Amino acid sequence: MAQLKGEQIEVTAGRNVSMKEPQANATQAITALAGGELDVGTVTNSHEQIKWDKHKRSGLSASFSHGTAQIGYQRNKSNRDMTGYDENVIG
């Protein structure tokens, strides 16, 4: 079993390439070039994305209408956490 890890993985051969049960994990791209046949068995392509946002907002407000004065304070907080996962099985 071959285990490959890195940002970009490239496998090049002038003839046939046969990888049985390979594990290749790249953060950007995996490229395989063969002069003959290319056999990698089953390929699983997956992508995971996590995004987290945090916002704070506060303020003071004042108004005067029909002889009445109003003063107010408002404070808002919001947190947003989003996770996405995609997977495709080819083979």
pLDDT per position as a tens digit, 32-53: 888 888 887 766 777 777 887 8
d(CA 79, CA 77): 7
Q: What is the pLDDT of residue 14?
A: 87
Report helix, strand or coil for 61: strand
Dihedral angle at the C-alpha atoms of 28, 10, 91, 14, nearest 10 degrees?
160
Where are the alpha helices (H) located in the chain, listed in sequence order? none
Q: What is the pLDDT of residue 80?
A: 80
d(CA 35, CA 22): 19
* pTM (two decimals): 0.40
